[in-house]
Structure 1
């Protein structure tokens, strides 16, 4: 049983012969001041020494009951002087006795030395290599690492990062991580690219339970050759052979100067990390998400159905994020009003717009994002930001305005913290957005809006129950077809978009035959529509759109669909258009085969107080 508290061991006993020799042999004089300096005490991009940044990360809070540093006899004096200047206890420096690479004992043996000399066998241990260069402006919070370790009481923890394109798998230990549990399934020591698809590089940054630390002597006894006493070899043995449960946690920065590197490597990585830091702090990030229209199947996505939806560039929401000293969410001047001309003005705006602007969407997205990363073992940098949004999507007409704001905010947060689709799979991002709305804000919604806003373009979605249960998400594919002219008509005054859903979910859950059959018919219509689209059979597509609405009207009844929606449907049909609701109500989307009637139909809609917009499809980004 481990004693209460956590101990940290910093390993700096490497001899870095190649780097030391090249610094010594350099004739330019630029590196004369670095001669004899151990790798861990070389300057980083911000002028501090590499080890200073590790000590800053470790020493910022009372996270450890003690911290020890293992070095060698050759460089002991350098670290003794560093400790005196850095308020590190000199008595906690452990000398492994080696003076050259030839008589070094290996990182795993250095770790055991600390365990023996300081009698640490009953403690949980965090061990790091203190000579690894990382992006100091990332300011990762080591407390997040410890918190995640405590979340996994039955396993150990290994830190990894996603390699840069210029890095080769043959230079690192590579881990294959289970995307659901975060358990490391396999550790590969410097594999060839064809041996693994993973680009997750493991480094000497581990947290071990006392039971695991007790296995180190066994490993050393079985592997007397110093070449096998690296931490990579130890972890490979621990995970692959001993089947010890080790979880992975991704940090937001890469780690470099690992192993025998030269002067050019040092120069290149110092320059790279400096450029990265400058780029991060320089420009705000703006991300946009587009409104969508449900072309077919809507709203069967919530009932294990099938749908076809299209993003349109006419209407959009965007979010902008930039680094700041404190975290700020900026209210929108129109959608989140806090100042009014008068009480009468407040009454009029509230009556028309309601009380629910976009600020709550930003806040809920940030909260859910932090929770997701903590749960998935993704450490976020300690960078504050200012987040704002803008949108031109008309409210309450079923064009997915709320999910567009959440989608844009999620894209901003992922870009700001350097997360990729590997950290949050594209197939899972729509579910994240839906969870923000449903779990945090109790907004009634389904997956299809979020899917098409992530994938963009004309997207076919299969939410069949067997698919959802097996994969945890639907099957999504782009229909790469140039659509004919489509129009959107909506009421100039907003309506209550929530009422259109009625009690359909309850009836579905009760297994009412009419509802089950109706949703199946909507799914069948979607498949037929996909065929018509692929064949550019626009007359058939228009007929299917009309049939789609007829099925929906039968399911939901005239009273629920509402007179205003019915009136917009009938205007389009009067001119021979295929017309249906693109969302939850307040607007219709139409396909008019005879385009010579378009202007006459437009005037008819306008006489009824509708706005008519020519749809501009938004193609997916390549």
Structure 2
């Protein structure tokens, strides 16, 4: 096992190696050597040999697999000369001395398994754990793992998320991507989706129509890229993966809305990557401690930008990881210092009914991002000031939501759109988006773009007019729906 472990790619300086695992519920930390590990460098910062309860919050247990460099072996004689009593001369206390007192560089690699039958154990212990795992297997006999991630709508602040701004966004249960992982003999990174990954067509005209609507690339590349990046991440993070194979398949009802200017409006690709990552984490027993939510959002973005060269930002990935209604601060100081922003979940009780409409044919929806990034990077005052204002509107919206002041929130949504319109211009936004905004305003609804384009999100103070508004949008060739927010606490999270 150690040979395969040591073949993993690492970015650490030379040092000793300790293998550790996460204690199961019911295992006492006082029965093991407990390690505290730096999540960034994987360095063992502290070793405690069978500590009393409460001495450390760590549940990471060291086992009897260690790798020592030849030069370090000479430390053994020093240790034995210092500790002369037989009870002090244990390998665990030797490691405690090396790490805590000698400050030797020792690094850790996590194994996604357990080592309960190590140390002073007898037949009763073997019998107990055999019964435990037998029962566990009967209760859950290699069941398929199915996880969903939901589409999101930006309620406030976008597009400033890509410009060190602030945003508020919400996951919605109307649209989702679902990935299923089943253990298998060989590894299959994706079964073709009958609609999104077609290879057979009824005619050349069918091929033309489907390709125009759906684009050329379905979800299979997303599954494969996520698997590749997941293996790379675990290798660099010092996490050994069990040698198990699996088969992936996916489904999604998130509108694709492909055109030459932008790939989609509600971001089906990040949802598929997010759902795939959830499956992989469950399959390999990777916890939030191994891959924190803030880092998980960066991981999803890196799959899209680094592997597939998709232009994307963090907002969508953050919301799909945290789920619910999320406030996000992407200020440059935070991003530079910690590599991610500050993210806070918001209370979703008593939210007013938001609505969403999108173009069935978004071909005229405009080139949303235009040259704004270049203008922002060059420090053009009007663009820089606009991004600051987006952030200020977001803070005001956060207060309005907290106070349940929906009239104020509606006003801020309208201000968000007008500010976006002022810097991107009508030509850039496109006639399709503008028609939807104008139509919504005829019914007294607040309205803004929830993402890159091709869709609008609104808040109508006069709920009685929703039925009329739905009919008007449908007659204009748009799809219209009342948003059903995805509230994580309302159901078991996938």
SS of 1:617's partner is coil
Alignment partner, residue 343 of structure 2: 476
Alignment partner, residue 178 of structure 2: 318
Alignment partner, residue 168 of structure 1: 28
Alignment partner, residue 293 of structure 2: 426
1:149, 1:207 within 8 Å by CA — same for their partners in 2? no
Question: Following TM superposition, by how much is the alpha carbon of 1:410 offset from its aligned partner in structure 2, in angstroms?
Answer: 0.3
1:135-174 equivalence runs, <5 A: 142-148=2-8, 152=12, 154-174=14-34
Partners in 1 of 2:368 and 2:438 — Cα distance?
Answer: 18
Question: Following TM superposition, by how much is the alpha carbon of 1:281 offset from its aligned partner in structure 2, in angstroms?
Answer: 5.1
1:330, 1:387 within 8 Å by CA — same for their partners in 2? yes
Unaligned runs of 5+ in 2: 258-263
Partners in 1 of 2:287 and 2:157 — Cα distance?
Answer: 31
Alignment partner, residue 48 of structure 2: 188
Alignment partner, residue 362 of structure 1: 223
Q: Deviations over 1:414-451 (max 9, x none)?
A: 00001110110112111110111111111111111111
Partners in 2 of 1:371 and 1:498 — Cα distance?
Answer: 37
2:357, 2:480 within 8 Å by CA — same for their partners in 1? yes
Unaligned runs of 5+ in 1: 1-56, 58-141
Question: Following TM superposition, by how much is the alpha carbon of 1:277 offset from its aligned partner in structure 2, in angstroms?
Answer: 5.5
Alignment partner, residue 413 of structure 1: 280
Question: Following TM superposition, by how much is the alpha carbon of 1:273 offset from its aligned partner in structure 2, in angstroms?
Answer: 3.7
1:352, 1:494 within 8 Å by CA — same for their partners in 2? no
Query: Of residues 467, 471, 487 in structure 2, which corresponds to 1:603?
Result: 471
2:181, 2:279 within 8 Å by CA — same for their partners in 1? yes
Task: Kindly indicate whether residue 492 of structure 2 is the aligned counterpart of residue 618 of structure 1.
Answer: no
2:365, 2:430 within 8 Å by CA — same for their partners in 1? no
1:12-27 equivalence runs, <5 A: none
Q: Deviations over 1:282-339 (max 9, x none)?
A: 2100000001000000111111111110110000001000100000021211111111
Matched residue count? 482
1:49-448 equivalence runs, <5 A: 57=1, 142-148=2-8, 152=12, 154-276=14-136, 282-328=142-188, 329-396=190-257, 397-448=264-315
Query: Of residues 453, 461, 468 in structure 1, which corresponds to 2:320?
Result: 453
Q: Deviations over 1:335-363 (max 9, x none)?
A: 11111122222122112211121111101
Q: TM-score, normalised by structure 1?
A: 0.75
Query: Of residues 554, 576, 583 in structure 1, which corresponds to 2:451?
Result: 583
Partners in 2 of 1:546 and 1:152 — Cα distance?
Answer: 50
Alignment partner, residue 499 of structure 1: 367
Choose between structure 1 and 2 for higher RCO, CA contacts under 8 A separated by at least 6 residues: 2
CA-based RMSD: 1.7
Q: Which of the two has higher C-alpha Rg?
A: 1
1:459, 1:478 within 8 Å by CA — same for their partners in 2? yes
Alignment partner, residue 437 of structure 2: 569
Partners in 2 of 1:365 and 1:508 — Cα distance?
Answer: 31
1:398, 1:497 within 8 Å by CA — same for their partners in 2? no
Alignment partner, residue 541 of structure 1: 409
SS of 1:579's partner is strand
2:9, 2:236 within 8 Å by CA — same for their partners in 1? no
1:319, 1:389 within 8 Å by CA — same for their partners in 2? yes
Distance 1:289 1:213, change over 3 A: same
Question: Following TM superposition, by how much is the alpha carbon of 1:150 offset from its aligned partner in structure 2, in angstroms?
Answer: 7.2
Partners in 1 of 2:175 and 2:138 — Cα distance?
Answer: 34
Q: Deviations over 1:548-596 (max 9, x none)?
A: 0011111111111111000101110111110000111000001010112
Alignment partner, residue 394 of structure 2: 526
Partners in 2 of 1:613 and 1:561 — Cα distance?
Answer: 22
Question: Following TM superposition, by how much is the alpha carbon of 1:144 offset from its aligned partner in structure 2, in angstroms?
Answer: 3.5
Distance 1:266 1:413, change over 3 A: same
Partners in 1 of 2:344 and 2:13 — Cα distance?
Answer: 41
1:158, 1:249 within 8 Å by CA — same for their partners in 2? yes
1:395, 1:494 within 8 Å by CA — same for their partners in 2? no
Alignment partner, residue 260 of structure 2: none
1:301, 1:463 within 8 Å by CA — same for their partners in 2? yes
Partners in 1 of 2:72 and 2:378 — Cα distance?
Answer: 52
Partners in 1 of 2:185 and 2:359 — Cα distance?
Answer: 43
Distance 1:497 1:282, change over 3 A: farther
